[in-house]
Amino acid sequence: MADTAEAPLLAKIRAHQVIARAEERPGNGRWSRFAQPRWIGILGIGLGLLAFWLALPPLASRTLVWPILVGVLSVAAGIAATTRGAGRVGWGAIVAGLAGIALGALATHSSTSHLNDVIVWSALIASTLRYATPLTYAAIGGMFSERSGVVNIGLEGDMLMGSFFGVWGADVTNSWFLGLLIAILSGMVLALVHAFFCIQLRADQIVVGTAINFLALGVTGYLFVDKYGANGAPTSIPTIPDITINSLKGVYFIGPVFGDLNLMIWLSFVLLFVSYIVMFRTPIGLRIRSVGEHPRAADTVGISVYATRYAAVVVSGGLAAMGGAYLSLGFVHTFDQNITGGRGFIALAALIFGKWRPLGAFAACLLFGFSSALGDRLPTYFTAGSSLPVLFNALPYVLTLIAVAGVIGRSIPPAAIGRPYVKQ
Amino acid sequence: MTELPGELEAPEAPEPTPEGTVPSVAARLALYQRAGGFVVPLITTVLAFFIGGLVVLVVTHKNPISTYKAIFNGSGLNWFFPWISHSDRVTAAFNLQSTLLLTTSLIFTGLAVAFAFRCGLFNIGGQGQYGMGAIVAVLVASSWTSMSGVPHIVLSIVLGALAGALWAGLAGILKATVGAHEVITTIMLNWIVFWFAAYLFGIGGPAQSSTQALVPVSNDVAPNTHLHVFWGSPILQGLHIGFFIAIAALVAYWIVLNRTTLGFEVRAVGFNPEAARYAGISVAKNYFLAMAISGTAAGLAGAIDVLGWKFRVGVDDIQGSTIGFIGIAVALLGRNTAVGIFFSALLFGALVNGTSTRNLDPSVFQPELASNLTLMIQGLVLLFVGADVLVIYLWRTRRKLLFWRRSAPTR
**Residue B230 per-residue DSSP state:** E
For the CA atoms of A399, B126, B318, B357, the dihedral, rounded to the nearest 10 degrees, stands at -140
B85 domain-assigned: yes
Using DSSP's 3-state secondary structure scheme, residue B231 falls into strand
CB A231 within 8 A of CB A237: no
In angstroms, the CA A154 to CA B109 distance is 21
User: Among residues A335, A408, A365, A376, which one has the least CA distance to residue A129?
Assistant: A365
Residues 6+ apart with CB under 8 A from B83: none
In angstroms, the CA A316 to CA B133 distance is 36
Per CB-CB distance under 8 Å, the chain A contacts of B186 are: none
Regions of chain B short of the pLDDT cut 50 = 1-26, 33-34, 410-411
Using DSSP's 3-state secondary structure scheme, residue A261 falls into strand
A344-394 confidence digits (pLDDT tens): 988 988 898 888 899 989 988 998 888 888 777 665 555 555 677 777 788
Q: Looking at the 3D structure of chain B, how many domains does it have?
A: 1
Nearest CB to A214; choose among B192, B205, B379: B379
User: Among residues A274, A303, A307, which one has the least CA distance to residue A290?
Assistant: A303
CB B240 within 8 A of CB B309: yes
In angstroms, the CA A379 to CA A291 distance is 47
Quick one: how far is CA B186 from the chain centroid? 15
In angstroms, the CA B351 to CA B333 distance is 14
**Residue B310 per-residue DSSP state:** I
pLDDT attached to residue A113: 44
One-letter identity of residue A65 = V
Backbone angles phi, psi at A243, to 5 degrees: -100, 115
**β-pair partners for B314:** B217
Distances (CA, A) of B128 to A303, B76, B341: 41, 29, 20
Work out the minimum CA distance from B185 to partner chain A, whole angstroms: 6
User: Among residues B175, B193, B194, B195, which one has the least CA distance to residue B185?
Assistant: B175
Mean pLDDT for the stretch of residues A163-182: 93
Nearest CB to B192; choose among A153, A352, A398: A398
Per CB-CB distance under 8 Å, the chain A contacts of B319 are: none
In angstroms, the CA B211 to CA B188 distance is 33
CB A195 within 8 A of CB A316: no
The model carries a pTM of 0.79
Residues in chain A: 424
pLDDT attached to residue A273: 94
Q: Which residue has the higher pLDDT, A145 or A423?
A: A145
Nearest CB to B369; choose among A206, A226, A390: A226
Q: Which residue has the higher pLDDT, A11 or B299?
A: B299
Nearest CB to A394; choose among B1, B191, B205: B191
Q: What range does the domain containing B305 cover?
A: 39-393
pLDDT attached to residue B392: 61
pLDDT attached to residue A64: 66
pLDDT attached to residue A106: 63
Cβ <8 Å between A206 and B122 = yes
CB A97 within 8 A of CB A72: yes
In angstroms, the CA A421 to CA B16 distance is 13
Nearest CB to A201; choose among B3, B184, B387: B387
Between positions 172 and 201 of B, the ones with CB within 8 A of A are 174, 178, 180-181, 183-185, 187-189, 191-192, 194-196, 198-200
**Residue B321 per-residue DSSP state:** -
Cβ <8 Å between B178 and A223 = no
Residues 6+ apart with CB under 8 A from B364: B62, B66, B67, B69, B70
Q: Which residue has the higher pLDDT, A62 or A47?
A: A47
Sign of the torsion angle spanned by Cα atoms B316, B318, B323, B326: negative
A63-88 confidence digits (pLDDT tens): 667 777 777 887 888 787 777 776 66
User: Among residues B233, B258, B228, which one has the least CA distance to residue B245?
Assistant: B228
The 10 Å CB-count burial string (b at 16+, else e) for A121-150 is bbebbbbbbbbbbbbbbbbbbbbbbbbbbb
Work out the minimum CA distance from B74 to partner chain A, whole angstroms: 19
Domains identified in chain A and CATH numbers: 2-35+112-405 (1.10.3470)
**β-pair partners for A243:** A261
Interface-testing mutation among A31, A146, A356, A387, with chain B (most B C-beta atoms within 10 A): A387
Give the CATH number, domain containing residue B332.
1.10.3470
Nearest CB to A215; choose among B194, B380, B389: B380
**β-pair partners for A260:** A244
Work out the minimum CA distance from A390 to partner chain B, whole angstroms: 6
pLDDT attached to residue B10: 37
**Model confidence at A249, in pLDDT bands (50, 70, 90)?**
confident
Per CB-CB distance under 8 Å, the chain A contacts of B387 are: 197, 201-203, 208
Question: B395 — contact with chain A (CB < 8 Å)?
Answer: no
Residues of chain A with pLDDT > 90, as a percent, come to 36
In angstroms, the CA B166 to CA B108 distance is 16
pLDDT attached to residue A35: 60
Question: B215 — contact with chain A (CB < 8 Å)?
Answer: no
Cβ <8 Å between A218 and B372 = yes
Q: Is the pLDDT of residue A102 over 90?
A: no
CB A215 within 8 A of CB A192: no
Cβ <8 Å between A201 and B3 = no
Question: A304 — contact with chain B (CB < 8 Å)?
Answer: yes
Q: Is the pLDDT of residue A223 over 60?
A: yes
- The enclosing H or E element of A244 equals strand A242-244
B5 domain-assigned: no
Sign of the torsion angle spanned by Cα atoms A166, A172, A176, A178: negative
Per CB-CB distance under 8 Å, the chain A contacts of B390 are: 201, 203
User: Among residues B375, B97, B55, which one has the least CA distance to residue B238?
Assistant: B97
pLDDT attached to residue A403: 74
B401 domain-assigned: no
Mean pLDDT for the stretch of residues A192-209: 89
In angstroms, the CA B180 to CA A399 distance is 14
Between positions 131 and 160 of A, the ones with CB within 8 A of B are 151, 153
What value of ipTM does the predicted structure carry? 0.81
In angstroms, the CA B203 to CA A37 distance is 41
Mean pLDDT for the stretch of residues A112-140: 77
Per CB-CB distance under 8 Å, the chain A contacts of B195 are: 390-391, 393-394, 397
B341 domain-assigned: yes
CB pairs below 8 Å between A and B: how many? Answer: 175
Question: Longest Cα pair distance anywhere in chain A, in angstroms?
Answer: 72
Q: What is the mean pLDDT of chain A?
A: 80
Work out the minimum CA distance from A364 to partner chain B, whole angstroms: 15
B17 domain-assigned: no
B33 domain-assigned: no
B9 domain-assigned: no
B1-28 confidence digits (pLDDT tens): 333 333 333 333 333 444 333 344 445 5
Mean pLDDT for the stretch of residues A214-229: 91
Question: A348 — contact with chain B (CB < 8 Å)?
Answer: yes
Using DSSP's 3-state secondary structure scheme, residue A277 falls into helix
In angstroms, the CA B368 to CA B332 distance is 26
Nearest CB to A197; choose among B3, B375, B387: B387
pLDDT attached to residue A166: 94
